Structure formats: structure tokens, C-alpha cells
Amino acid sequence: MATIKGWAQTGNSLTIPGLHNPAVAAMSATDIAYIDDVNGQLVKRRFNGSNWSQVGSGLTVITSGSDNPALVALSSTDVVLAANGVIQIYRFSSSTWATVGSAFSIIGMTYPALAVFSSTDIAYLDNNGQLGRLRFNGSTWSLVGDNVLPLTDSTYPAITALNSNDLVICTTTGTNTNQLRAVRYNEPLWATLGNPLTVMTTGYDYPALTTLNSTNVALAVSSTDILLRDFQFDGTNFSQQGNALTVDSAFAPKLSALSSTDVAFCATTNSATDQLRVYRFDGSNMPGTEKFWRVPPRKRAWRVKK
């Protein structure tokens, strides 16, 4: 039987000393935005397939620390940062960053998570269990609809959008159990989709999610080590695809997809440095997976030699 493949690092790591609680957002297949809550500087970095380099200059945007900042990209130039109870857009032009429009304040927001529905719409979720949808009109933010969905057991949340209305959520419950679930926004209401899946029973640190395509997400959850995995949602149930990868001695992971196979990964090591890496998922030899995301259904079937 063919070997089931999984995750592997591609290229070299970039070590960033003295940092904690990083956040990363893919702006293109090679470029990311990066920030941490100690130095507080928003930086654009580029991966050439082997090594990382900085593009342009950074901008200091966090000056007093933050409860685990969240960062997502709206486009190849614009990113949204949630930190210290404020959501703000920043734009990279040529070689520098600048703010765009007004900030949006959410009272009591801690440990925020963000997901992108479109170039104007995002979802936010925080440690208080408030899930909402925001829209940016070019200058100001507004809450879409009048409904904010309260979620229980939303400690250290992570969210990612499968499409313009559906989200996958991972949270840590009060029993240190990480659970995947899906929800749909049908204005002005949120509704649960399918069945939740418990993915770790000893996790307590921040989970991280990113979308690989319309059905698959990458998930990283840490307890002693970080486990990086691929999960597929068929509209009803979640299932793991391929093998997990153990990333030793790191915590507070963040993920952002560069493509349907590659993710930018960042986490803080036990030596108080951040490691920025790229991981690639290879499912090309997975047997019996006609519905797997890298193979269009009914166009290619896997065969096992006898």
C-alpha cells in the first residue's frame, strides 16, 4: 500500500530573538505580514522558497503589549490587525506601512481571532465568546446585521473562513479540550453547521487555523509540543487528512496559507525566540482518497498495486 504522506518543512527557518505571541498573515504566495506583542512592529517578509527576507521598513503599532494579537490579509497590500481591543487596517505601499480609515473598538476584547470573508468583510471572535461580522466601507467599520453570536467555551479562539459565509472555529474548553466546529452566517443570524470534532484532549494553549481551500483547513494546537494537521469538512463532519507533524518545543502557534499546500507558520520557542517557517502538505500518495482536496472528484482515481 502507498505511504500516507503529510506535513514537512520546506526551506529554512527564520529565528527572531526575544519575541512572544507572534501573528502572521499571507499577503501573496511569497509575502507575509508579521507582528509580535513585544516589539510591536508590523513587518513585511518574503519567502523565496529557501530563505526569508524583509521587504521595506516596519511600523511600530503595538506600544503597550497585547493579549495575543490577530492578523489577517484583505489583499496583497492591506492587512487587518486586532490588538488591545482595537481593529485597524494597515496598507503596505512600495516600502512603508500606513493606517487606512478609522479603528473599530470592541470593549473587553482579549485574545482576538480574525477571519476574512471578502475584501470588505471579516469575522471576529474573542475570549469573551462574541462572534460577529464587520464590514469596512473604505473609511469606517460597521457591524453587519444586529446579531453577535455568543459562544461558550471560547478560550483562546481561532477562526478561518471557508467561503463568504462559513467559518471553522477552534476553541479551548474549560476542560483543556480543543474542539473544531463550523458555523454559517445568514444575515442577520449565525447557525451551527454539522457536527463538532474534538481534536485534542490535553491542549491548553492557543490553537491556530488557516484555510487551504473551500473544504480543508490546517490546524496547529500546542500542549507540550505543537501538532500540525489537515482537516476536511464535508458539510457535516470533520476528518483528518494524512499524518500530523509534531513541532517540538514551541507554543502559541500562528498559521496563514500561502497556497492550497503551503502554510506560513510562526511560534514562540522555549528559548523565547520566534521561529518563522513554511510547511507543505503532500497528499499525493494517499490511498483511497478520491474526494481529497488535491484531486478533482471523478477525474482521477487512486489505485493500489497488488
Task: Locate the domains of the chain by residue range.
Answer: 7-281
Q: Tell me which of 282 and 262 has the higher pLDDT.
A: 262
pLDDT at 257 over 70: yes
With vertex at residue 204, the alpha carbon angle to CA 129 and CA 79, rounded to the nearest 5 degrees, is 55
Please report the pLDDT score of residue 300 as a whole number.
33
Partners of residue 273 on adjacent β-strands: 17
Chain length of the chain: 306
How far is C-alpha 19 from the geometric centre of its chain's CA atoms?
19
Predicted confidence at residue 176, as pLDDT, reads 63
pLDDT tens-digit readout, 185-209:
988 888 889 999 988 766 556 789 9
The segment with the largest mean pLDDT, out of 36-50, 69-83, 117-131, is: 69-83
How much is the pLDDT for 8? 94
CATH class of 7-281: mainly beta
Instruction: Report which DSSP code applies to 2.
Output: P
Whether 232 and 211 have beta carbons less than 8 Å apart is answered as no
Task: Please give the Cα distance from 115 to 193 (Å, whole number).
Answer: 17
Q: Is the pLDDT of residue 12 over 80?
A: yes
Q: Does residue 65 surpass a pLDDT of 70?
A: no
> With contact defined as beta carbons under 8 Å apart, do 247 and 267 qualify?
yes
Q: Give the tens place of pLDDT for each residue, 269-293.
A: 766 677 899 999 986 533 333 222 2
Residue 151's contacts (CB-CB under 8 Å, 6 or more residues apart) are 125, 129, 130, 131, 157, 169, 171
Structure-model confidence comparison of residues 63 and 46, the more confident one: 46
